[in-house]
Structure formats: structure tokens, C-alpha cells
Structure 1
Amino acid sequence: MMSPEPVKFLLVDDIEENLRALEALLRRDGLTLYKARSGVEALELLLEHDFALALLDVQMPDMDGFELAEMMRGTERTRRVPIIFVTAASTDEGRRFKGYEAGAVDFIYKPIDPLILKSKAEVFFSIARQHEQLARQKDALATAAAELKGALDRLQAHTDNSPLAIVEFDPDMRLLAWSKGAERMFGWTAAEMTGQSLSDLGWLCDSSIGELAEMLSGSLADAAHQRGHHTVRCRTRAGAVLDCEWYSSVLRRPNGQPVSLSVQILDITDRRRAEETQTLLIGELNHRVKNTLASVQAIATQTLRYSRNPDQFSATFSGRIQALARAHGMLSDRTWQGADLMDLVHDQLRLGAVDPARLDARGPRVQLLPQPALRLALILHELATNALKYGAFSRPAGRVVLEWSVEGDQLQLRWQESGGPPVQTPVKRGFGSTLIDSSMKSDGGTASVSYRNEGVVWELMMRLDRTPDPMADIAARPVAPAPPEPPREVPALDACRLLVVEDEALVALELIAVLEDAGASVHGPARTVEEALEAIETGAFDAALLDGNLHGKPVDAVAAALTRRGIPFAFVSGYGRENLPAAFAQAPVVSKPFIPQQLVEVAGRLARRDGNVLPFPAATGTSR
């Protein structure tokens, strides 16, 4: 803390001995005494220093004390300096009046009484000290006020520039403050909102006003309340609805009485949407990865059924997986926006080591969406593989013409072989032919084959979906009826009538094969919601196995129809329980890729009306 400035007294007397006597009587710590022998000398000192008291001798040559006092009172700088006259003259009311008129506050008479002099001087010394202290306090208050104003200005700037909306309510839930952030977030100005009751603002959704007002009032009433957190739906001036998080705190007086409730509001609408989208994408990714694994499982199983030895299985299975992988790679390079048909043709036929000069591929530019591109990739692979093994590409002179055209929303493809070995109609239909036929039918297309002397001719038709599907299936969709099942001594599902609803062709093929191997009578696959509803209304089934999604459409209507008919069912899906219809949470879930034994067990329990059917986790092994 700084030391106080010394208090200054001015002593004026034309006699040096008198000045020394006054100095000796008044000397003390913190006091500085200035002496003047004349009025002129005194005036010079008055212009240089601020004095707390002036003791003036009345009788002085040239300029007496009264004249000096009048000059002091005539100057702004010295007008308020207290004056005590020191005089040896006897008491004269006229002189006293003249002295007071000149500005004196008191008189001291010679000979001077030291006690009286010191007591009077002490008064003015104390007044000077108090004045100095008040001045210091005034300066400190001014500095504090300036700092507080700066802090408030910074706080206001932060409040105005904050992405949060900051509002304040009084104990009666009337709005006291509405920040610039609130204006930006909700559209109303502070003038429009302040002073209104929470229930009259039109700012909150009606369903949340009562509950929120009760919670905020409880916060104000609870002396121990520190910080509140609520999720509230708010309206904007434009009519949009925002999901918001409210963080509240109570301002109280020292006695605990609430003054106001301050609320900081964070708009979490975009975050909520992002979380919902993330949940959806995770569910979709999980579904599609599992569908892909289920497709690979089906390819492996069905290839094994048609293979004569391990070497044949290895080559055939590897080729089909490579075809699927190359199609996935092409779609990934294009961020799953689709694939050009000509690029797909050349990419797939390179797998079979086909001489480009022996393939004449022609047709208009056609962009295929991911689903049909994946299906067509497997079809082209089967056509090229069959041509290499048995058809035109197995002879040096053999050729293939692949041409296509587009009529409306239909893509027409024609695969015509020539120059190969003599063609004979096969006695037994192979997996490749079944896969091609079922793949076309899965989306309402057609496939027909002619075994001509000059070569095989395939006529294919598929529907072109012009609307891009950002959630296009990652797995291929060929479907085929099951081959004759091997005999079983004790079929687990003997005489059970089951409905299979599945749009993934290879997965449907595997489902049917597993169920029929176990002795069931299977209807399906129903590939769309419409097909499934028709089958439910016209057929009689003991149980059903239902995919969690059919060509991007929810299956709530199918599950409801099964429930109305009293047909128990299980979901067979790559989705988790949280992504399946919530109204049918009692239905068991078999995760893709599935273990055949688990599938048979669930189907058997459903058909027998066993109430203890539990969901099954994703399979870790898929061999049969």
C-alpha cells in the first residue's frame, strides 16, 4: 500500500521569530510546514502547493492578512483553503466580522495558547487525511468500476457471440433476458420476448411447457440446486422445431432467496440427426456385411452340392467369389453410385481369360445401380465360365455376341454363342443356369435359354431402377430352387409347412435347402412385401422365416399379417434387434450368416408352437 502524501500547512508572518515559534508548536509526522514572510511570497507558494490550512498574520506590511485572504478567495485554486487568522489585536467585533467576511474559519490570538493551536490544527490535519483517504477510495472505486465495466462488456461480447442461446427467468417464470445468440437461434428479438411468461411465449412445444415449468420452479425452490440439465423441444419464429439441451443455474441473494434462473441453451438438432443417421448406418452396415457373409455361405454350400471333387469345388467357388469381389471393387471405386454396363462386362470377362477379339459386346451406355450390377456380375461370370468349359470359348473359332438395348425401364440383353462344340439340351439343370434364371426373377425380370445347333442363346430382361439407392445392398441377389434333398432317417421338420420371405437370392436358396433337408415343406421365397402378403392370405403355414428388410422396404406389414393369421415367425436378418420392427419384439431373431442347426431348431420350435424360442447370435461357423 502506498504511503500517504504529507499534509501541508502554510504559515504566513512577517516576523521570523513568530514563524519559528509556530513551526515548533505544529511540527509532527506527516505534516510539512511552508513559511512565507509576506503576502506575495505566500501567493507564490499557494500556486505551487495544495494546502490543508493557512495560518495568516493579520498585521503585515504591504499586504495584510485580510487582503491576502480576499485574494485567495478570488482565485479558483486557493478558494477552498481554510484560513485561520493569527492576531495580537484585542477582540474587536468589527475586525472579527471583517476576517470572517474575508474567508476566515477561525481566529487565534497572541500570545498563542499552544493547546488551542494544536487542537485547531489537529482538526484540519484529520480533515486533510480523511479527504486524502476519500480521494483514494474514489480513485479505487473508479478503477474498480472501469474494470467491472470492462468485464461486463467482455461478458456481453461473449454472450452476444456465443453459439449458445442465453436466457434468464425471474421466480415467476417471466423472461428477464434474451441474448443475441437466442435471437439468432430462434428468430425473436429481445424486445419481443422479455417480460413474457414462459407459458405465453409460443416458443416451447405445448407438450413440454407444464413439465418444464415445474422442473424450473423446483430448481428455484431447492436451495441446494447447483446445475440443471433438461432436454427441451423449442420452436423457431419460422415454425421449425429444434431439439435443445437446457443447462440452468440459480442466482440467489445471501439469504438464499432466488433472484433469477439463468439458462444456457444448446441446439442439438443436427447432433441428434447425426446420431440417428449413425445408428441407421451402423445397422445398415451390419445388415449388409452379414448379408454378404450369408451370400458367401450360400455360394459355398451350393457350389459344394454341384461339385464332383474338391478341385472342382475350389476352382468354381474361387471364381464366383472373385466375380463378386471384382464387382464390389468397381462399385467401391465409384463410391457405390453404380457401374457402367460395358465396364462391368469387360471387368467380369477378364476373369475367364477370354480373348477380347472373340467377344463382341455392344449396346448403349447404361448405368447400373449397385444391386443389379452385383447380380449381373455373377450372371456374366456364370455365362463366361460355361462358355469356357462347354461352349464357344472352349474352341479356338468360337465367338460370343453380347448385345443389349433399353426400352423404357427394361434392359434387354442377348448372349449368343457360335463356333463352339455341338449343343445338346442338358438332362439336368446346373447351378449356373438356376442362378441366372432366379437372379432375373428376383426383381421381376425374365431369363430364357435356347440350345441351338450353332450355340447357346440367353435372352435376359431386367428392370432398370432410375432412382439411385444410397443404401444399395452389398450382397448379390441370385435365387434358385433347391436340388433334390438327400434322404434323412429322422427329419427334424417332417411335414412342417414353412414360408420363407427373403429377397437375397443366395440366402433364400440356402434357407430353402436347409429347411427341406430337415424335412420341411417350403413355400417361397417371397421376395417382396406384396408377394409375402399374397402368400400369407392364400396359403396355410405352420411358421414363417422373415427377412428384416425387403428391397429396402420395412417388413412391418408382413409381420402384422402373420400375427393376424396366427402364424408364428422369426426374423432372419443381418440387422440387430434395435433395427427390426419394435412392435414385434417377441419374435426370435436368427442372425445372418446363420448356423443351419440353429435355423432348423428355431423353425421346429415355431412350428410346434414352443414358447421358449430365443434369439440366436450371429454364427461363427457356417459349414453344414
Structure 2
Amino acid sequence: MPNRPIRFLIVDDIPENLLALDALLRRDGLAVDHAHSASDALELMLVHDYALALLDVHMPGTDGYELAELMRSTERTRGVPIIFVTAAERDETRRFRGYEAGAVDYIFKPIDPVVLKSKAEVFFRIGCQARDLLRQRDEMQQIARDRDRAAAQLRAHTDNSPLAFVTLDQDLTICDWSKGAERMFGHATADLLGRSAEDSGWLDRAGAATLRGWLGPHDGAAPRHSAETQLGHASRGAIPCEVYGSILTEAGRRTLSLQILDITERKRAEEVRSLLIGELNHRIKNTLANVQAIARQGLRRSGSLGDFEQSFNGRLQALSRAHSILSDSTWSSAPLDQLIDDQIRLGTLDSDRLRRRGPAVELAPDTMLRMALALHELATNAVKYGAMSVPQGIVHLDWVARNRGISLTWRESGGPPVSPPSDRGFGSDLIAAVAGGEEGAVSVEWHPAGVVWTLRLSEGVTALAAPSAAADIPAGQPPDKGVVLNGRRILVVEDEPLVAMDIRTELEGAGAGPVQVARTVDAALSALNERSFDAALLDGNLKGQPVDPVAEALRRSRTPFCFVSGYGRDHLPQGFDDVPLIQKPFPPPVLRRVVTDLLDAGLARAAE
């Protein structure tokens, strides 16, 4: 439309007149159409819009007056200005008829070019203005359509957004309340529009003071604000929200546009995280304190360093396994049967000579840890001195649930004759500690046929709805083969220096050498590229880095290896379920046994 020419129409039955008028009118931006008759003119006017029509009065058939009347009777051509061109005398009657037919002016022949051009100029400019107005109208209509489309999109976004959109005026009166606000706060739009945000109960006094501060005087560009505050929910009361505010100014009045996020779940998660961190710190410190107590008491009461090492490692393993069981249950509680099964799996108890009976119960975390130490001590004493020290010995383990507690009996039979010990050892104290130090909660009877321990716990025990069937789990690992690792090249991939030093000392003490330590993924890959190894021990995580590349490199090089980790299988590289796992902490015999098995597997593979 901006480049569309202005169009004039000349109607005359004489071609020479058409050419003459055309020559006088022609100019840039103007298109002049010719019609030789009224019918031709009407056809052209159905196709084009004209800013001016110059009509010859005297034409055969339909004359200029009749054509003008036809134009005024048709909606499309009614507004086209008409100038009659005539050679007739200036008769007032004729002129009156022309104006009555709709003419705006007359031009008389012979035509004065100056008069023609000046009158045509007026209509040319009117046509330009009309064209510009039409263009502006179209532009405004397009702007209006774009505005309506943008407003519809914005409304759709605000209505479907997880955010609530609220607009307040300078008096904190609610001017707009989105569908998201309805969902977030449970208030219908009709109930709040036009009401004070504070008086409606949606905004408390502290929040109102904050928003009034945002609406206060400011210099420069409109600021952006954010804050955490409590906002009222229709049924839940005050809920924590994160509010972002923008100041808008229109017609001298300022409004506050708010975008609001409900952070209730985030606050709950932060509270849970804080509680979990506190609980984790508490448990870690308690565990370290328990380890410290076991070490100090064990050192005081052990006859030699060898005895201390053996007993300390066993007790540490009992704690570690109990921790693993609790971790699998997210430290809520764990079944007593699972703890007993774990002692069987470690080889502390022999499933073939254990008779257990009792309802299905779960132990709280603290109770679980103490019970793990007690069962370890009972089993260790039975293996050293009691029923488990001879092939025909039997251990009966029975328990009865009592309210939130339990009464557990450990009774040995078929073992060597029993007599009370002359001194009370540390193991007996650990067994007594299972009841939390309560007087009379732990008792022992030294019958010649076998010792009987009774442990009574008043809390920390939950009876389950149905009894659990104790699974028959094979006895523990076979005893250490005692193979000396003479000259075997072993790679230890471990980021904890003390753990790496302990593993290296154990392996070199068994004759392995050289033992190379790598503390990062890159160092391990570099070591594997430089030389070959008979076996490798791979930590499950190196300073936060996954060890998958090292495991894959070991498999490609056909190097036998095992994982050494505090993680379970779920946190180790996928696709290596056939690789042995040594759980930290571990007793030295287990380490030597697994390494020996790896070396044997390597020799068998090489012989294939």
C-alpha cells in the first residue's frame, strides 16, 4: 500500500480529449485510466479506487449526468469526487443539475491547464492523505492484533505458569490475580480483586511494609526487588513464598507487578537436609567415639598386640556390617534376622549349628549397632572357648518381643565343660552394653553344659506383622589360604593415603612387590600404560571422580582386579558385577584371601 499510486479516471467518448487531459494531468505517483463510455467507466470503478473522476457531460448513450447518478447510487463509488468537463455554455440550470448529480466542480472547454492542474492537485493531495490514513489504519489494526495476540499469550503463560502473578496499586489494592495465584493460594479472583491485600489476610503486616518500601521514591530506572515472605493460603494458613517485584508507572500512577513462587517444598527439604546433616554428624561422632572406646578398652585388656589386632578388626567389622545394613534401610530400622544372617555370611556363626527362633522384629539404629557388637562377641567367645569350638556344639538363639522391647537368650550346648571366668573381660562388658547400661538388663549363667546369656531391651524394638523366615545362608568365607605373594606386581588405586598405606603394608608384608599406588584416575591409567600388573585393587571413587575408565582399562588389559570401597554395588561402575568387592573397613585376612584368588584367576586365564 505505501507505493500504490493515486488513480484518476477520465471518461470521454473522444480519444483526443482523453489524450489531452492525460497529458495535462500526468505526474509521478499518479495513474490515469481512460474510459470511452459510462459502461467502461463503471467496470473500471469495480476494479480500482479513484481519487477523482473527470466526466464528459455529453456522451452517446449514458451521458455524464446519468453516470454520476449511477455512481452515487452504488456504495463502492459513492464517495468518488466528480468534476464535469463540458464545452457547453455556463448555464445555471445545467450547473445545478450537475451538482445535484453529485459533482464537486466544473471545468469548461477549452481547458485552462493551470485551472485543471490546480484543481487536480487538491484531489491528488486528498488521495495521498486518504492512502496514508488507510495505511495507518491497517498498521494500527495490525498493532492491535499483535497486541491482542501478545496479551493472550501472556495471559496463557501466566495462567499456566507455576508462578503466581499478582498486580497491586500504590495502596496495595489487588488489581490482577492470575489463575496461578488461584491455584497457589486457594483464593478465587472474584474474591480478591479490588480488595486490600493486607485487609484480605493475604498479606501480613511485615509483608505489607516490605512492599510499601518497594513502592517508595526511587531515582533512575525502575528497580527490581525480591524477598522471602509469608503469604496467606485460604486453607493452609501462611505459606513461605519467594516474591519478585517490578515497579510499573502509567499515567503518573505506580503499580507493583509481583511474581511469586511457593517455596514450601524447598523449605521442607532444607529442614530435612539440616536434620540429616545434624543426624549424620551425630552418628559419625558416635561411631568414632565407639571405635575409640573399643580401641582403648581393647588395648588395656589385650595380652598382646596380635590379640588386640584380631579382636579390634572383628569388632570393627561387626560395626561396619551393621552400618551397611542400616544404610540399606536409610537408617530407619533393620530386621534382627538380617543382622544374624550377616554374621553367618561373615563366617562368625555357623548356620548348620545355629538354632534360632523368634518373631520378626526390627531394631532401631542405636540398638542395631549395640546388638551387632554383642552378637559378634557371643559368637567369637563361642568359637574360641564354647560350643562352636567343637564339631558337635550347638547354639540356640531365641527371642521374645515385649512391648517396644525384646528378651533375647543365647544358649550353648554340646561344647567343652563351662566354668565362670576368673576375670571379667572387655567382651563381656560389650555384651552388657547392648542394653544401654541398664541394671539387670543383661545376665549370664555359667552352666557346665554351656553358658546362657539373657539380654533384655526395653526400647528400640518394633515387632513386625508377620514372622520372617530365616534364610539358610552358607557359612562364611573359607579360612585364609596362607599363600605368600612372592614378587607379584600389584596396583593399588586408592585416594585415601592412610588406607593406601595400610593396604600396601599388608601386601608387602605377605611378600608382594613391587606394590604401586595410584591416587587419581589419570595416575592409574598412566601406570597401566607403562607396565603390566598381576592384580589390581580399585577404589570405588577417587576424590569424586568415577573409576569407570580404570575398570575398563583393567578389563582390556586382562588384569584381575577387585573393588575396595565403602559403597555398595549400586554405586560402583555398571557392567562389573562379576568383579569381587571388598567392603571397607576390612580385616587383613580377607584382603590377602581375595588377592590370592585374583592371582589364581589370572594364572588360570593365562593357561587358557
> TM-score higher than 0.5 here?
yes
Question: Equivalents in 1 of 2:44, 2:335: separation in Å?
Answer: 104
Secondary structure at the aligned position of 2:3 is classed as: coil
Q: Which amino acid aligns with 2:320?
A: A
Contact kept, 8 Å, 1:349 with 1:384, in 2: the verdict is no
The answer to whether the aligner puts 1:412 opposite 2:378 as a matched pair is: no
| Aligned sequence identity (%) | 54
- Equivalent runs, 1:59-458 vs 2, <5 Å: 59-206=58-205, 208-218=206-216, 224-253=221-250, 257-349=252-344, 351=346, 354-442=349-437, 446-458=441-453
Q: Structure 1 pair 444/80, CA: closer, same or farther in 2 (3 Å)?
A: farther
Contact kept, 8 Å, 1:230 with 1:246, in 2: the verdict is yes
Q: Which amino acid aligns with 2:379?
A: A
Shift of 1:247: 0.8
Q: Unpaired segments of 5 or more residues in structure 1? A: 469-624
Question: Equivalents in 1 of 2:350, 2:42: separation in Å?
Answer: 122
Contact kept, 8 Å, 2:167 with 2:176, in 1: the verdict is yes
Shift of 1:210: 4.9
Contact kept, 8 Å, 1:352 with 1:388, in 2: the verdict is no
Q: Which amino acid aligns with 2:123?
A: F
Task: Judge which range, 37-46 or 91-100, deviates more.
Answer: 37-46
Q: CA offsets, 1:105-146, max 9 Å, x none?
A: 111122221111111111111111111111111111111111
Q: Structure 1 pair 355/205, CA: closer, same or farther in 2 (3 Å)?
A: same
Question: Equivalents in 2 of 1:381, 1:317: separation in Å?
Answer: 11
Shift of 1:225: 4.1
Q: Structure 1 pair 390/125, CA: closer, same or farther in 2 (3 Å)?
A: same
Q: CA offsets, 1:145-177, max 9 Å, x none?
A: 111111111111111111111111112221111
- Equivalent runs, 1:19-30 vs 2, <5 Å: 19-30=18-29
- Equivalent runs, 1:504-583 vs 2, <5 Å: none
Shift of 1:253: 4.4
**Map of 2:492 onto structure 1:** none
Shift of 1:467: 5.7
Question: Equivalents in 2 of 1:358, 1:20: separation in Å?
Answer: 128
Shift of 1:429: 1.1
Q: CA offsets, 1:164-221, max 9 Å, x none?
A: 1111111222111111111111111222112112331211234x24522442332x55
Question: Equivalents in 2 of 1:445, 1:267: separation in Å?
Answer: 54
Shift of 1:464: 4.4
Contact kept, 8 Å, 1:441 with 1:447, in 2: the verdict is no
Question: Equivalents in 1 of 2:35, 2:389: separation in Å?
Answer: 134
The answer to whether the aligner puts 1:36 opposite 2:31 as a matched pair is: no
Secondary structure at the aligned position of 1:332 is classed as: helix
Q: CA offsets, 1:540-572, max 9 Å, x none?
A: xxxxxxxxxxxxxxxxxxxxxxxxxxxxxxxxx
Secondary structure at the aligned position of 2:104 is classed as: strand
Q: Which amino acid aligns with 2:30?
A: L
Q: CA offsets, 1:389-431, max 9 Å, x none?
A: 2223333443333222234444222222334333332222111
Higher relative CO (Cα under 8 Å, sequence separation at least 6) belongs to 1
Q: Which amino acid aligns with 1:97?
A: F
Shift of 1:374: 2.0
Question: Equivalents in 1 of 2:288, 2:269: separation in Å?
Answer: 28
Q: Structure 1 pair 168/467, CA: closer, same or farther in 2 (3 Å)?
A: farther
Q: Structure 1 pair 456/135, CA: closer, same or farther in 2 (3 Å)?
A: same
Q: Structure 1 pair 446/349, CA: closer, same or farther in 2 (3 Å)?
A: farther
Contact kept, 8 Å, 1:245 with 1:268, in 2: the verdict is yes
Question: Equivalents in 1 of 2:390, 2:61: separation in Å?
Answer: 146
Q: Structure 1 pair 443/198, CA: closer, same or farther in 2 (3 Å)?
A: farther
Q: Structure 1 pair 53/445, CA: closer, same or farther in 2 (3 Å)?
A: farther
Secondary structure at the aligned position of 1:100 is classed as: helix
Contact kept, 8 Å, 2:344 with 2:350, in 1: the verdict is no
Q: Structure 1 pair 103/433, CA: closer, same or farther in 2 (3 Å)?
A: same
Contact kept, 8 Å, 2:358 with 2:399, in 1: the verdict is yes
Contact kept, 8 Å, 2:363 with 2:462, in 1: the verdict is no
Q: Structure 1 pair 354/65, CA: closer, same or farther in 2 (3 Å)?
A: closer
TM-score of the superposition, structure 2-length normalised? 0.71
Question: Equivalents in 2 of 1:429, 1:344: separation in Å?
Answer: 26
Shift of 1:58: 1.9
Secondary structure at the aligned position of 1:198 is classed as: coil
Task: Judge which range, 349-358 or 23-32, deviates more.
Answer: 349-358
Q: CA offsets, 1:458-513, max 9 Å, x none?
A: 22212243569xxxxxxxxxxxxxxxxxxxxxxxxxxxxxxxxxxxxxxxxxxxxx
**Map of 2:513 onto structure 1:** none
Q: CA offsets, 1:239-280, max 9 Å, x none?
A: 4221111111111248xx443111111111111111121111
Secondary structure at the aligned position of 1:71 is classed as: helix
**Map of 1:612 onto structure 2:** none
Question: Equivalents in 2 of 1:375, 1:176: separation in Å?
Answer: 64
Q: Structure 1 pair 406/232, CA: closer, same or farther in 2 (3 Å)?
A: closer
Q: CA offsets, 1:376-395, max 9 Å, x none?
A: 22111111222222223333
Secondary structure at the aligned position of 2:42 is classed as: helix
Question: Equivalents in 1 of 2:366, 2:235: separation in Å?
Answer: 41
Question: Equivalents in 1 of 2:233, 2:335: separation in Å?
Answer: 46
Measured on the aligned residues, the alpha-carbon RMSD in Å equals 2.4
TM-score of the superposition, structure 1-length normalised? 0.69
Secondary structure at the aligned position of 1:8 is classed as: strand
Contact kept, 8 Å, 2:348 with 2:376, in 1: the verdict is no
Question: Equivalents in 1 of 2:350, 2:186: separation in Å?
Answer: 68
Q: Structure 1 pair 138/335, CA: closer, same or farther in 2 (3 Å)?
A: same
Q: Alignment length, in residue pairs? A: 463
Secondary structure at the aligned position of 1:238 is classed as: coil
Secondary structure at the aligned position of 1:10 is classed as: strand
